[in-house]
Every structure is written in C-alpha cells, then in structure tokens.
Structure 1
Amino acid sequence: MTWYFYRVVDAAGAVRSGTRAFELGDPQSVREALEQEYEDGAVLSVRQIPAVLVQSVRSAGSLFGKKLKDQDLVVLLRDLAVLAKAGVPIIDAVRTLAEDAESVGPACAAVASRMLADLRAGATLGEAFDRQPSVFPEPVRNLIRLGDATGAMDRMLHEAADHVERLTALKADSKQALIYPAFVFTAIFGAAGFWLYYVVPNLASLFKQFSIKLPALTVAVIGTSEWVSSNGLLVLLGLVAAVALVMFAWYTSQKFRLQVYRALHVLPVAKRLMSAAGMAFFAEYFSLLLRAGVDIVRSLTVLENITGDLYYREKLTLVRMYVERGERVSAAMRRVGGFPPLMLRVIAVGEDSGTLDDQLQYLAGEYRTRLGRVVATLSEILKPVVIFIAGGLMAVFVVALVLPVYDLIGQAMAVRR
C-alpha cells in the first residue's frame, strides 16, 4: 500500500484534500481512480507521500495521536445498524449521529461528520469508511463494502460491531494478567526505595552513635542505602532514559519489536499467553474476512498487515507466499510451523468441506476461551509469587534493621542496671 496526498473539486464545487493508501503503484493510476470516484468533479493534484514520512507519522500517531476508542467505535456501528434496520436512509442515519454529539460523544460525532461530507459528495458508505482507515479496521471496512454490494447493510453493521466487541474483550483479557503484578511490583519497589533513601540512613546514623556491632546483612543494606543516596538521581535519570530508549526503539525499529516478540514466544508463561491471543486474533479476523467475501490470498495479506505480533506476521508472510503458489492454507501453515496442531487439523477439515469460515469462527471462540483460562490461571499463579517476593523483601529489612535495634535496647537496659 502506497500513501498519496490529493486535492479534488467535488460535485458541489468545494475543494477537498486528503491522504489515502492505494494499492496502485503510480500517481497517474491514482489520478484515474480518483477521476472515476469524483466523476462530476475534477482532480487537481496527486502526490505520493515518501515512505519515511509515512512511518514517522505512524510512529508519532502511536505515541501521541488521538484515536477513536473501541467502545466509541462499537457505539457508532451499533447506532448506524439500528437506524439502518429501522429503514432510515444511510445519509440521514449518519447525519443523526453527526448532530448528536451529546449521546454518541464528540469523537464519534466528528467521525460521522467526515463520513457525512463524503456521502454528500456521492461516496458510498463503504467508500466513506475506506477514507478513514485509522478509525475503521480493514475487516470492518470489508464488511461495509459487502453491505453496499448485497443491500444487507444493517446486518453487516451489526456483525462489524460484534467483531469489534470480541476484539476488545480479547485485548482486555491479554492485558488483565499484567495489571495486578505490575501494580504490586511498583508498590513494592517504591516502598523499598523509600526505606533505602530515607529510613535506613537515619537508623544507620543511630547505630554509629552507639557503636553497635552490626551483622553482615545490616552492613550490606546500609551500604546499598548509602549508594542509593549518593547515586539516586543518576539511577532515576538512567531508568527514565532506559524507558525512553526502549519506547523509542519499540516505535521506530521493527527489528527490535520482532526480537521482543520472538523472546516472548520462547519464555514458558508468556509463550502460552501469546499463542492463545495470537491464534484467537488470527481465527477471528480470518473468519470475518472470508465471510465478508474476501478471497484467501487477500485475507492473508490483510492479516499480515494488521497483525501486531511480528512473530506471527513473519509466519503469515510465508504462509501467504505458499498459498499464492497453489498450496492449501493448512499445508502452508504446517510447512511454516509455529501453529498449533488443533488449528491445522480444523482448518484442513474446513478446506475439505468448504466450511473454512465456519471452522475458523469455531476456532476463534475456542481460543478466546483458552485465553481466558490462561489469564485466570496466570493471575492465580502470580498472586502467591508476588506475596512471596514482597514478604521476602520485608523480611530482609526486618532482619537487617530491627534486630540491631533490639541489641541497642538491650545495651541501654544493661547500662541502666
């Protein structure tokens, strides 16, 4: 896909500009496509956007861009589906959402306003969706185009909303396992930093005043505290710089992200989580694309472009290449490797019976269930691990600092006697 900037005059005489991705390889072909789209208008200019600039904008958008939330997208799709089911013309349905910012939210209303402008210029609803690729995922756009072709727009909108809801639940399940340990470990290390930076130095000065013989563990803790006090600012700046460097590498280097994903697919616990999430995502989108009337090769191309897990994206590229040469999907996946035997067998059955989309839909539900089980199991495993680490850290502080205090009290009582 190549991105182009264009300026056109629509049928109403208004000058419009925008950016869009085209599969066409040269500006002249893009110009001809736009002339067909705006047959009652005129194309003023078409310019290809450099790939480096596209990647930079995508990276900046990932970091700072405002996107339509999944929940808002579901509201937009469901409201359109309800209005279409009630017999309201599509342009009037979109106008209703554009003018009802209080109910649907300002973000949805802004998206609907842009769609309304496209519809007034003569675009179909599918074309209006295509012009906002950052808002509407490609499988959703494929369903809307199918609705334009079949006339079953209300059903396609409902199915698109259901799909987005399932993907939202899938993302939530994947993140749920990380929230609890991340919160607890942050609290633990924050408390440890407070002890090392503030509490330990005060107790250390007290021990020195009374010349108490300290055990090796206490000496080690006091030494660590002194090092943290002396280099705490440098450590903090180093951590901030390290986090910033990792984030920069993550958003700018595909090789770095690929290595991270490969590592996650090797680690024992992460491997199960990534496999369940990846297979659920793959089956869900593949089934949706096939049911939307997209051919297998094009569906694999779409999956390759939208899969966030670069480990599976690399494998999907090879699968697509083998399928383009005439192999079946199941055979190509088996040759590439990395896909569970269950998925390979079920896909082979679907290919033999001509029910591949139904089999993939079944697999998507099965892997979503498995992902939920993995997340629940992982959460239960992490709880005692977190408690053990927190208890061990506090035990170190108690043994290292409280026992010398008892010795100090004993010496004071001995002097009194």
Structure 2
Amino acid sequence: MRRHKWNSTQQAVFLKNLGTLLDKGYSISESLTLLSLQNKRATSVTIKTIKEDLVKGKPLFESLERQRIPSDILGYLYFASEQGNLSFGLLEGSSILQKREELKKSFLQSIRYPAVLLGTLSVMMFFMLKFLFPQFSNLFQSVNLALPVYTLYLISFLEFIPVLIYLTLTLLILMFIILHFHFKHKSAHDKICFWLRFPFVREALKIVLTQYFSFQLGHLLKGGLSLTNAFQLFEQQSFSIFFNEEGTILKADLRKGKSLSEAFEEKPYFLPELAQVTFFGQSNGKLGEELALFSEMLLENAEERLKGFLTLIQPVMFAVIGSIVLILFLSVMIPVFQLFQSL
C-alpha cells in the first residue's frame, strides 16, 4: 500500500485530534475511525494503515514510526503509553510539533525578504563584474589612468567568490565523510561529547537533552514508577540511542551508591541546574513534580531565546545588505570621481 507522507502541520493536527478523542473516552480504534471520516482521502489511507498495524498487535508509537513521525515525539508517546496516559503524550507531542512549525514559519518570514534582496544583489554583482568593471577598465586605460585600489580589491574579491564557494563545499563534504567514518563505531555518548567541544553548540545541546530527559523522568516518577523502573524504560525505548545508553549508565551509578543528584553532577551533557533541582526534589519528596516543572521552565526559556534570535535575524541581514550596497556604490562612484578629476 502506498504510504502518504504527512507534513509537520498535518502530523500535529492528527496527534491533537487523536489525543482529544482518547481523553474524552473513545478507544483508539473508534478515534481512528472518526478521524478517517473527517479527513481527506490521503489521510484516511494513512489512518487505515495505522489501524491495520494495531490489529496486528503493534503499539501505536511503532505504527506512527512508519509514518515518519519525529523520533523525539515517538519517545513522548512511548513513555506516555507505558504510564497508561497515551492521550497526554499525543497532546504533548502535538503541542511540540505546532511550536516547531510556528518557529519555522517565523524564521522563513524573517529571511524571505532579505534573501530576495541578497539574490538581487548577487545578480547585480555578477553583471558589474562581467560588464561594468571591464568597461571602467577600458575607459581608464584609454585615458592612461589606473583603477582605484579600492575597486581593484573589490574586483579581485568578486572573482574569488566562486572559488571560495567551491572550496567551502569541498571542505564540508570532506568534513562530513571524515566525521561519518570517525563516528561510525562510536557510542551516542561519544558523539554528544564531541559536539560539546563547540561553544556555539554546547549550550543548546545541553538545554535540549536536559529538557527532554527531565520531562520524561519527571512524568514517569509522577506516575508512580521507581527510579530503577524509570531507567529501565529508558533502556528499553529505541527512539533515542543516547537515552537508551543513559538509562544503563544511571542504573549503574545508583548501584554504586551514588545519589541521583551526584550522578547528574558528573554528566557534562546536562545543565548543572538538573542536579540542583534533583537534590531539592529528593529532599522534599517531590522529585517527579520538580523535574516536570523544571522541564516546562526550560522549554519556555528556550522558546523565548529562539524568538529573540529570530527578531535579530532580519536587522542583521539588512545591515549586511546595506553594507554590500554601500561597498558597491563606492566601487562605482570612486572611479567616476577620479575620472572627473583627471579631466
């Protein structure tokens, strides 16, 4: 049967509607039947495929994996189903997908107009290099004058741009190949520790890992699971190799007699605040609640940072475009002024 690919918006709507129906007391089969009646043919075919998988005994998150739902969202569904609260996982996954789509749209809107301007400027620079500057050069030679140094430097730079692009692409391809073979047999933790070496990646990576882990662990503990059982679920899930390994590592740390906060302090890939929140939560007997609240705060903080970053993109790009326009203007006007002065 042909598989119809959903975009992120369609996935978010499906997860939200399914979670809402389950929350109202409908069974999964009934919910899927209702959704297939309300949606267009392509979506109905996909829902039919999911129902067939469920009849074969596959869990919902495994069937949705075949429909190209992102792995971290599948992780939310896996942990929620293990707690017997699948509707919560569906609604949470839907919310995350919707927020990602909103941020993606904001980013595209921020760069759309500057990107058009940059494209236009690129065309202008091409015509200046191929037609205008050669005319300037011939004109200056006819009157025994040399082009201004500023203009000559700009011409050299414009001529070097294609070479620079090819060199950059070649280096990126070589880097990708080297990293691929270097990490081919490395563990997920080794890969994460490698990326932590880069300052521009480190903080974002820590926030993502800490938020996801604290959210899942917090809700597992709130659902009544012990730490050992919660880490066993992390070991059993297959959607994130990193957290699969992390579950094994944390279980070993607890067997060695370490407290959970001490174990977190030794993890360079988690924010230091995680250990502090864990210590506080264990002290007042509300570890699950504290971790869940901490994950929500991290998510809100990350969203605010991303929105702040998006608001900066357009002014920065306009500043770059303005600088390019000024450089091009000067490269044309300086030779004109010099030519007038020589007459």
Which TM-score band (shorter chain)? 0.7 to 0.9
Indicate conservation of the 8 Å contact 1:176/1:375, yes or no: no
CA offsets 1:168-190 (integer angstroms, 9 cap, x no match): 35645876896578667755764
Given residue 148 of structure 2, which amino acid in structure 1 is its aligned partner?
P
Distance 1:68 1:131 in 2: 14
What TM-score, normalized to structure 1?
Answer: 0.61
Correspondent of 1:92 among 25, 30, 40: 30
**Residue 147 of structure 2 corresponds to which residue in structure 1?**
214
Note if 1:281 corresponds to 2:219: no
Correspondent of 1:80 among 13, 18, 22: 18
Counterpart of 2:152, as a letter, is V
Q: 1:272 & 1:201 partners in 2: Cα distance?
A: 45
Number of positions where the alignment pairs a residue of Structure 1 with one of Structure 2: 324
Q: Would you say the 8 A contact 1:276–1:370 is kept in 2?
A: no
2:15–2:93 Cα contact (<8 Å) kept: no
Counterpart of 1:27? Answer: none
Higher relative CO (Cα under 8 Å, sequence separation at least 6) belongs to 2
Under a length normalisation based on structure 2, what TM-score does the superposition of the two structures give? 0.72
Structure 1 residue runs without a partner (length 5+):
1-64, 148-155
Secondary structure of the 2:147 match is coil
3-state SS in 2 of match to 1:339: coil
What displacement does 1:367 show?
0.9
Alpha-carbon distance, 1:396 to partner: 2.2
Is the Cα–Cα contact under 8 Å of residues 201 and 225 in structure 1 kept in the other structure? no
- Of 281, 298, 313, the residue aligned with 1:367 is 298
Q: Report the CA distance shift for 1:178/1:262 in structure 2 as closer, same or farther (over 3 A).
A: farther
Deviation readout 1:33-79 (Å, 9 max, x if unpaired): xxxxxxxxxxxxxxxxxxxxxxxxxxxxxxxx975444434433443
Separation of aligned partners in 2, 1:193 and 1:313: 48
Amino acid at match of 2:230: I
Quote the residue 2:47 is aligned against.
112
Displacement after TM superposition at 1:100 (Å): 4.2
Match of 2:267 among 333, 336, 353: 336
> Equivalent residue for 2:231?
297
Long gaps (5+) in structure 2: none
Secondary structure at 2:270 match in 1:
coil
- Name the CA distance, whole Å, in 2 between partners of 1:274 and 1:173: 21
- Say which is worse superposed, 329-338 or 296-305, in terms of deviation: 296-305
Q: Find the aligned partners of 2:50 and 2:63 in 1 and give their Cα distance.
A: 8
**In structure 1, how many angstroms separate the alpha carbons of the residues matched to 2:103 and 2:59?**
33
- How far has the Cα of 1:99 moved from its partner? 4.6
1:127 aligns with 2:59: yes
In the other structure, the counterpart of 1:306 is: 240
Which of the two has greater strand per residue? 1
Q: Deviation string for 1:221-260 (max 9, x for gaps)?
A: 12334455xxx4x666555555666667778874696477
CA distance 1:111–1:260, change in 2 (3 Å) = farther
- The verdict on how the C-alpha distance between 1:314 and 1:81 changes in structure 2, with shifts beyond 3 A counting, is closer
Output the CA distance in 1 between the equivalents of 2:42 and 2:222.
32
CA displacement, residues 255-313 of structure 1 (integer Å, 9 cap, x when unaligned): 6964773244x13xx54444434433332233344445662312443689527xx7x99
Aligned AA (1:356): L
Q: Equivalent residue for 1:348?
A: 279
Indicate how the Cα distance of structure 1 residues 162 and 131 shifts in structure 2: closer, same or farther if over 3 A, else same: closer
Aligned CA-pair RMSD: 4.1
The verdict on how the C-alpha distance between 1:396 and 1:303 changes in structure 2, with shifts beyond 3 A counting, is farther
Specify whether residues 301 and 227 from structure 1 end up closer, same or farther in structure 2 by C-alpha distance, changes over 3 A only.
Answer: same
Amino acid at match of 2:296: G
Return the offset for 1:83. 3.9
Matches within 5 A, 1:237-276: 254=183, 258=192, 261-264=195-198, 266-267=199-200, 270-276=201-207
CA, structure 1 residues 357+335, in 2 after alignment: closer, same or farther (shift >3 Å)?
same
Counterparts of 1:172 and 1:279, CA distance in 2: 22
Pick the structure with more helix per residue. Answer: 2
- Is 1:140 aligned to residue 80 of structure 2? no
1:158 and 2:94 correspond: no
Q: CA deviation at 1:404?
A: 0.8
Q: 1:41 aligns to what?
A: none
